[in-house]
Amino acid sequence: MEYVNPEGLRLDGRRFNEMRQIVAEVGVVSRADGSAVFEMGNTKVIAAVYGPREIQNKSQQKNGHALVMCEYSMAHFSTGDRRRQKNDRRSTELSLVIRQTMEACILTEVLPHSQIDIFLQVLQADGGTRSACINAATLALADAGIPMRDLAVSCSAGYLNSTPLLDLNYVEDSAGGADVTVGILPKLDKVTLLQMDAKLPMETFETVFALASEGCKAIAERVREVLQENTKQLEYRRAA
């Protein structure tokens, strides 16, 4: 099947280095301390952060550090064919991966004896769900006023029809080519998440990895814009 036509256009009309449209909004769940919705094309994820609050289960307490918990769930209607299982292996793996990524960003030593809960709810899945989750979680944590050392962002890229492609959607992802998900901390310029499936020759991997990192930088810009706008808005509404 042709994923990139001779003119260089993909199935949805994008070029190889074009990301899907991003919609990011902060403050969507009223009860949560911080929340955000992040859309990359048709992939739509809501993140809600509860905390820092009193530790619910004293046995899980970590000495001198905040406890970070993360749960990833997909709505029944999120994928084309309806999912039945709630706690399947993929959800468990993603919960763990996202928790580790966010835990690396949060300054847990500033909030001892407390617990931070991150809940991710996927409303629509169309490829790149783990990236959308990390981006949504970052926005939600910033919205909740939790101190972080950097704003983690993530993007994916793949390789089909001999072309590296940025931000794969579900159809492109299931095509059988490689899918590289990269998460970076832009200010510290460090890679915090790196996952890949299928196989790639080393040079191709480097190109795809570089493309995904470029995508991450663009997302980082967007995330910063949203937070800056939101902070300014809150401040001038509040008044003297």
Partner 1 sequence: MVACSVGEQHFLKGGIAQELRTDGRKRLTYRHTYVETGVIPQANGSARVRIGGTDVIASVKAEIGRPSSLQPDKGKVAVFIDCSPTAEPTFGGRGGEELSSELALALQRCLLGGKSGAGAGINLSSLLIKEGRVCWDLYIDGLVISSDGNLLDALSAAIKAALTNTALPKVQVSAEVADDEQPEIDISDEEYQQFDTSSVPIIVTLTKVGEHYIVDATEEEESQMSLAVSISVNRAGHICGLTKRGGSGLDQSVILDMISVAKHVSETLMNKLDSKISAAEACEDES
Partner 2 sequence: MMMRKIQLPFTQTQKVRYERAIERLQSLSSTVNSDASVIVTDTIPVNHEDAFLKGHGTSEVDGELLATVCGVVERVDKLVYVRTLRARYKPEVGDIVVGRVIEVAQKRWRVELNFTQDGVLMLSSMNMPDGSQRRRTSVDELNMRNIFVEHDVVCAEVRSIQHDGSLQLHARSQKYGKLEKGQLLKVDPYLVKRSKHHFHYIESLGIDLIIGCNGFIWVGEHVEVRDPVMMIDGQKDDEMISSSSSTKEQSHTPLETRQNICRIGNAIRVLSNLGFTVTVQVITETVNLSNSKNVDIHEMLCSEFHVLVAENEAERRREKRKK
CB 212 within 8 A of CB 128: no
Residue 8 buriedness (CB in 10 A; 0-12 / 13-18 / 19+): exposed
Among positions 115-154, residues that touch partner 1 (CB under 8 A) are 117, 119, 121, 123-124, 126
Distance separating alpha carbons of residues 76 and 202, to the nearest angstrom? 38
Q: How far is CA 150 from the centre of its chain?
A: 14
187 binds, among partner 2, partner 1, none (CB under 5 to 8 A by kind): partner 2
Q: Can residue 80 be called a binding residue for partner 1 (CB under 8 A)?
A: yes
Of 74 and 220, the one with the shorter C-beta distance to partner 1 is 74
**Least distance CB 61 / partner 1 (angstroms):** 17
114 binds, among partner 2, partner 1, none (CB under 5 to 8 A by kind): partner 2
Nearest by Cα to 44 from 118, 119, 102, 129: 129
Nearest by Cα to 40 from 192, 216, 199, 197: 216
Residue of 76, 199, 237, 238 that binds partner 1 (CB under 8 A): 76
Of 138 and 181, the one with the shorter C-beta distance to partner 2 is 138
Distance separating alpha carbons of residues 116 and 68, to the nearest angstrom? 5
Per-residue contact flags (x/-) with partner 1 for residues 4 to 23, judged by CB under 8 A: --------------------
Of 4 and 125, the one with the shorter C-beta distance to partner 1 is 125
**Stretch binding partner 2 (CB under 8 A), from 75-83, 117-125, 209-217, 220-228:** 220-228
Q: Hey, CA dihedral for 227, 78, 167, 213, is it positive or negative? A: positive
Distance separating alpha carbons of residues 154 and 116, to the nearest angstrom? 21
Of 35 and 230, the one with the shorter C-beta distance to partner 1 is 35
Q: Can residue 38 be called a binding residue for partner 1 (CB under 8 A)?
A: no
Count the residues of the shown chain that bind partner 2, applying the rule CB under 8 A.
47
